[in-house]
Amino acid sequence: MSVPSAPEQRTALVTGAAGTMGRAATQGLLADGVRVAMADISLEALETVRNELAAKAPAERLYPIAFDISDPEACSHAVEKIGDEFGFIDILVNNAGILSKNKIADTTPEEWHKVFAVNLDGAFYLCKACLPSMRQRKWGRIINICSFAAKSGGITAGTAYSVSKSAMIGLTFSLAAETTATGITVNGIAPAYVKTPMVTEQLSEEERQAVIAKIPVGRYCEPEEFAHVVRFLASTLAGFITGEIIDQNGGLQFD
């Protein structure tokens, strides 16, 4: 078994860190002592989150970096910059994503490609850029944020979104298969209805009522509950788990 560095020497890259779940994951990893490179589209939004989180942890343990994950060159450049600032990336949390609610009849080819470019391609570029140093160091954690939409076909989520998240599960399995026995684990989380703007703003009141009525636990998932799963998968405790998609769906589906 490979021996990882101490948590304080580990670097995580969390994409979509200015969003609700990315922020919660960043805060959780920071609480575990890990340095976090926070990626998102807007530097201003990242700075705001950094300032909020800096009240709870030293600001120098957070590195905001703005880039578009759907741009392959921007991804390689960002990984290099994070390397210069913080050292190699040990933990990659592919969390950035966009929701599209359109079902197939209303999904344009442009929308399809845009959703895939962000929800899948970005994770592919970043995995490709981070894996060589993880392999070299014989330790790494990749955590792909999938969705219950992949398993349900999308209750309120649209076709492009649901299929992109299915592909994210496929990417997780492929990379897990390629990296067994290297000290790297590759896992996914399939959340349903986390209390974020995707639910509170992008769903209509009618949709929200219908969704709550369907979720057996009778509530939405808290972003902090999601972050706990990220922290566990990122830790040494989860070293024997790879190629797993952890459901976080309040009992919507058992498998």
**Can you tell me which of 29, 126, 163, 199 binds ligand NAD, judged by CB under 6 A?**
199
125 is catalytic: no
**Separation between Cα atoms, residue 94 and residue 175, nearest integer Å:** 13
Cα 120 to chain centroid, rounded: 11
Q: Is residue 19 a contact point for ligand NAD (CB under 6 A)? A: yes
**Can you tell me which of 49, 92, 184, 194 binds ligand NAD, judged by CB under 6 A?**
194
- The residue type found at 230 is V
Q: Describe the strand order of the beta sheet including 245-248 as a list of residue ranges.
A: 62-66, 35-40, 11-15, 91-94, 140-145, 184-191, 245-248
**Can you tell me which of 12, 13, 14, 21 binds ligand NAD, judged by CB under 6 A?**
21
Cα 33 to chain centroid, rounded: 19
Q: Which stretch binds ligand NAD (CB under 6 A): 101-109, 133-141, 169-177, 187-195?
A: 187-195
* E-only strand ranges, 24-134: 35-40, 62-66, 91-94
CB of 70 to ligand NAD, least distance (A): 5
Q: Which is nearer to ligand NAD, 183 or 234 (CB)?
A: 234
Q: How many helices (H) and strands (E) does the chain have?
A: 10, 7
Q: Is residue 154 a contact point for ligand NAD (CB under 6 A)? A: no
**Separation between Cα atoms, residue 42 and residue 232, nearest integer Å:** 28
CB of 160 to ligand NAD, least distance (A): 12
Residue 217 burial (10 A CB sphere; 0-12, 13-18, 19+): exposed
Q: Is residue 197 a contact point for ligand NAD (CB under 6 A)? A: yes
**Tokens for 234?**
């990122």
CB of 190 to ligand NAD, least distance (A): 7
- Integer CA distances (angstroms), 138 to 10, 170, 179, in order: 13, 23, 10
**Can you tell me which of 7, 32, 43, 68 binds ligand NAD, judged by CB under 6 A?**
68
CB of 177 to ligand NAD, least distance (A): 23
Q: Is residue 234 a contact point for ligand NAD (CB under 6 A)? A: no
**Can you tell me which of 53, 129, 134, 145 binds ligand NAD, judged by CB under 6 A?**
145
CB of 24 to ligand NAD, least distance (A): 8
- What is the x/- site pattern for ligand NAD, positions 78-107, by CB under 6 A? -----------------xxxx---------
Q: Are 97 and 145 in contact (CB under 8 A)?
A: yes
Q: Is residue 70 a contact point for ligand NAD (CB under 6 A)? A: yes
| Cα dihedral sign, 75-76-81-86 | positive
Give the active site residues. 161
Binding site for ligand NAD (CB under 6 A): 15-16, 18-22, 40-41, 68-70, 95-98, 118, 145, 147, 191-194, 196-199
